[in-house]
Amino acid sequence: MARKPGSRAEITGPRLRDAALRLFARDGYAAVSMRQIAAEVGVQAGAIYLYTADKQTLLFQLMQDHMDALLGAWADSTPPLGDARARLQHFARFHIRFHAARADAVFIAYMELRNLTPANFATVEALRKRYETELETILRAGQDEGTLAVPDTKLAAMALIAMLTGVNTWFREGGRLSRDRVEEIYVDMVLKAAGARA
Amino acid sequence: MARKPGSRAEITGPRLRDAALRLFARDGYAAVSMRQIAAEVGVQAGAIYLYTADKQTLLFQLMQDHMDALLGAWADSTPPLGDARARLQHFARFHIRFHAARADAVFIAYMELRNLTPANFATVEALRKRYETELETILRAGQDEGTLAVPDTKLAAMALIAMLTGVNTWFREGGRLSRDRVEEIYVDMVLKAAGARA
DNA sequence: GTCTATAATTGGATAGAC
DNA sequence: GTCTATCCAATTATAGAC
């Protein structure tokens, strides 16, 4: 049987994480075995434990990395100079684009929350809350400016994020509508829902 | 050990389904064992198979029953006589109330879709689609009447349902806002997002 | 760094007594 | 209708050879 020669640590680690991400997204954390993940990469089950402490840590790091990437990308995005209405539009576009590009990680990040240990859950939840706060800040500014009108800032933030993230449950490249057109339609609905001036 | 006397079939079946519903919602289908479900009800693992063919059928029937109940309750709800705008308001209220009352079933109905066999998935998916079509019908009527303005009927239906169902991820009785107030806020956002006349 | 082999546990499902 | 006992396959994780 084709035995692999020696050291490939630098690439085996990332490949294991990629395989875990894809399999967890497709079948669910509880339904995927360490053997499956190993087989996907072409190593034996035992070898996984050279790269992660255990299955729980593997899941946790996938989710933490995703949330870090999300917050990092948001921080790096250049918000428009205009009013809160323009910043909300920017947020909606950013959210859809970032999430569309990482469907597996997004799916895991909120389907597998209950499979985290309480300590790991708290860490991930804090990151998620930080992202939500970014949107709340925009909505509050719009309320103060008079460019947006939301009945409750916190609820509106959760409602808009739920609406935007929902795109991932059905969007497939090559469908009836292009990615850009979907983005346009959702941005329109988000602005309307937030009471943006026409 | 406390042995149970004979026949209790009429209540054991429903109790097993209730226990499965709660445990599946809390820990996920794949993470819950038949032994756990049995223990919750106070019977032995083997006894479950008197009430269900297997674990898959148990999950499928929970989901099918939920969707049947949803469509039945919607059919029984008396829509207002007015325009599509009023019917959309009625739909939003109905959706939030029905889903708030059955958080466990709702959670399962869309977290465990991937754990259904293809045949079972198709059945449940058809029921879900029927519900979505009910909302599409309202939105299309509003578009024709001029009381609503949505950029795309299908997308709007999915977006609004995602927003409304999102309530379940955070709402807990006794929080900052009452159930009625939350309902009011969401109805407001739904109507705005659908371009309802002010 | 990866392998084989295995420990220790748990899973779904069934058989047969009562 | 429920019990005990059990089959058989699969799980996570570790030990030790190479």
Q: Give the tens place of pLDDT for each residue, A84-116.
A: 999 999 999 999 999 999 999 999 998 999 999
Residues A44 and A58 in one domain: no
What pLDDT shows up at residue A7? Answer: 52
What pLDDT shows up at residue B2? Answer: 38
Q: Are A96 and A182 in contact (CB under 8 A)?
A: yes
What pLDDT shows up at residue A197? Answer: 83
Question: What's the structural domain count of chain B?
Answer: 2
Q: Is the pLDDT of residue B4 over 70?
A: no
Q: Are A29 and A112 in contact (CB under 8 A)?
A: yes
What pLDDT shows up at residue A9? Answer: 59
Question: Which residues on B lie below 8 Å from A165 (Cβ)?
Answer: 162
Q: Please give the protein residue whose CA is closest to the C1' of the nucleotide D12.
A: A34
For residue A95, which of A175, A176, A163 has the smallest C-alpha distance? A163
- Rounded Cα distance between B182 and A132, Å, is 18
HSE-CB at A183 with a 13 A cutoff on CA atoms is 17
Residues A61 and A112 in one domain: yes
Does any domain span residue A198? Answer: no
For residue B103, which of B9, B13, B166 has the smallest C-alpha distance? B166
Instruction: Spell out which residues of B between 28 and 87 contact strand D, using CB within 7 Å.
Output: 42-47, 50
Over residues B95-122, the mean pLDDT reads: 96
Q: Is B114 left (phi over 0), alpha (psi -120 to 50) or beta?
A: alpha
Does any domain span residue B181? Answer: yes
Torsion sign, CA atoms B125, B130, B135, B141:
positive
Domain hosting B87: range is: 55-193
Structure tokens at B116: 């259904």
Q: How far is the CA of A117 from the C1' of C9 (A)?
A: 20
Residues A107 and A188 in one domain: yes
Residues A176 and A134 in one domain: yes
Q: How many residues does chain A have?
A: 198
Contacts (Cβ under 8 Å, ≥6 apart) of B157: B132, B135, B136, B139
Residues A142 and A62 in one domain: yes
Residues B104 and B63 in one domain: yes
What pLDDT shows up at residue B3? Answer: 43
The pLDDT tens digits of the residues spanning A24-75 come to 999 999 999 999 999 999 999 999 999 999 999 999 999 999 999 999 999 9
Last residue of a domain, one of B37, B52, B67: B52
Percentage of the residues of chain B whose pLDDT score is greater than 70: 95
Q: State the average pLDDT for chain B.
A: 94
Structure tokens at A58: 């593997």
C-alpha angle B148-B150-B155 in degrees, rounded to nearest 5? 135
Query: Closest chain B residue to A152 measured between Cα atoms?
Result: B185
Contacts (Cβ under 8 Å, ≥6 apart) of A25: A103, A104, A105, A107, A108
Q: How many residues does chain B have?
A: 198
What pLDDT shows up at residue A81? Answer: 93
Residue B122, classified by CB atoms within 10 Å of its CB into exposed (0-12), middle (13-18) or buried (19+), is exposed
- Interface-testing mutation among B24, B128, B188, B190, with chain A (most A C-beta atoms within 10 A): B188
Does any domain span residue B140? Answer: yes
Does any domain span residue B76? Answer: yes
How crowded is residue A53: how many other Cβ atoms within 10 Å of its Cβ? 10
Residues B64 and B34 in one domain: no
- In this structure, what CATH number is given to the domain that contains residue A9? 1.10.10.60
Residues B83 and B181 in one domain: yes
- Rounded Cα distance between B132 and B19, Å, is 29
- In this structure, what CATH number is given to the domain that contains residue B113? 1.10.357.10
Does the beta-carbon distance from B28 to A115 stay under 8 Å? yes
The pLDDT tens digits of the residues spanning B150-196 come to 999 999 999 999 999 999 999 999 999 999 999 999 999 999 999 99
Residues A39 and A81 in one domain: no
Residues A72 and A101 in one domain: yes
Residues A63 and A134 in one domain: yes
Residues B41 and B62 in one domain: no
- Distance of residue B6 Cα from the nearest chain A Cα, in angstroms: 36
Does any domain span residue B198? Answer: no
Q: State the average pLDDT for chain A.
A: 94
